[in-house]
Chain A
Amino acid sequence: MSRQDHIREFAAKALSEGRVDYFIGWKQGYNSSEMVPAFVKDPAQVDELVWNPLCHHNLVTFIKRNMPDPAGAKIGLCVKGCDSRTLVALLQEQLVDKEKLYVVGVPCDGIIDRRKLEKQFKAEIIDVAFPDKGQVVVTTAKGETKEFAQDEVLLESCKRCRYPNPLYADDTAGPLVEEPDREQAPDFSDLAEYENLCDEDKQAFLERVYSTCIRCFACIHVCPVCVCWDRCVNRSRQPEWVEQKVDTKENLFFQMIHMFHVAGRCPSCGACDRACPVEIPLYLLHRKMNKEIYDMFRFEPGVKLDEKPVFQVFDLNDPFGD
Chain B
Amino acid sequence: MADNKTTQASGAASGAAPGGGAAPAAAAPTPGLPGVSGDRPVKIVGIVCNWCSYAGADTAGVGRFRQPPNVRLVRVPCTGRIDPLFALKAFQKGADGVLISGCHPGDCHYSEGNYYARRRFELLERMVHYLGIPKERFRWTWVSASEGQRWQQVVTEFVAAVEKLGPREGRAL
Contact = CB atoms under 8 A, between A and B. Distances in A.
Interface string A78-112: 00000000000000000000000000000000000
Provide the main secondary structure of the chain A interface.
helix
Interface in A231-251: 241, 248-249
Report the interface size class on chain A.
35 or more
Contact of B115 (A289, A293, A314): A314
A263 B123 contact: yes
B115 A203 contact: no
A257 B85 contact: yes
A246 to B, nearest CB: 14
Nearest to A256: B88
B107 to A, nearest CB: 12
A310 B133 CA distance: 25
Q: Which of A248, A292, A293, A320 has the most CB of B within 10 A?
A: A320
B123 A248 contact: no
Contact of A311 (B92, B119, B129): B119
A206 B119 CA distance: 25
A195 B130 CA distance: 7
A252 B85 CA distance: 12
Contacts of B121: 320-321
Contacts of B88: 253, 256, 260
Given A253-B92, A321-B142, A206 B131 contact: yes
Contacts of B134: 199
Provide the main secondary structure of the chain B interface.
helix
Contact of B171 (A207, A256, A260, A321): A207
A202 interface: yes
Given A249-B173, A292-B123, A314 B112 contact: yes
A316 B83 CA distance: 20
Given A199-B133, A241-B85, A310 B173 contact: no
B84 A321 contact: no
B173 A293 contact: no
Interface string B58-81: 000000000000000000000000
B105 interface: yes
Interface string B133-159: 110000011100000000000000000
Contacts of A316: 105, 115
A177 B142 CA distance: 49
A315 B92 CA distance: 32
Contact of A260 (B83, B129, B133): B83
A132 interface: no
A207 B131 CA distance: 11
Contact of A253 (B112, B124, B132, B173): B173
Given A206-B172, A314-B112, A249 B92 contact: yes
A304 interface: no
Interface in A195-236: 195, 197, 199-203, 205-207, 210
28 contacts: A199-B129, A199-B132, A202-B131, A206-B131, A206-B132, A206-B172, A207-B172, A210-B172, A248-B172, A249-B92, A249-B173, A252-B173, A253-B88, A259-B127, A260-B85, A288-B130, A289-B127, A296-B119, A296-B122, A296-B123, A310-B119, A311-B120, A316-B105, A320-B121, A321-B105, A321-B140, A321-B141, A321-B142
Interface of B: 83-85, 88-89, 92, 105, 112, 115-116, 118-124, 126-127, 129-134, 140-142, 171-173
Interface of A: 195, 197, 199-203, 205-207, 210, 241, 248-249, 252-253, 256-257, 259-260, 263, 288-289, 292-293, 296, 310-311, 314-316, 318, 320-322
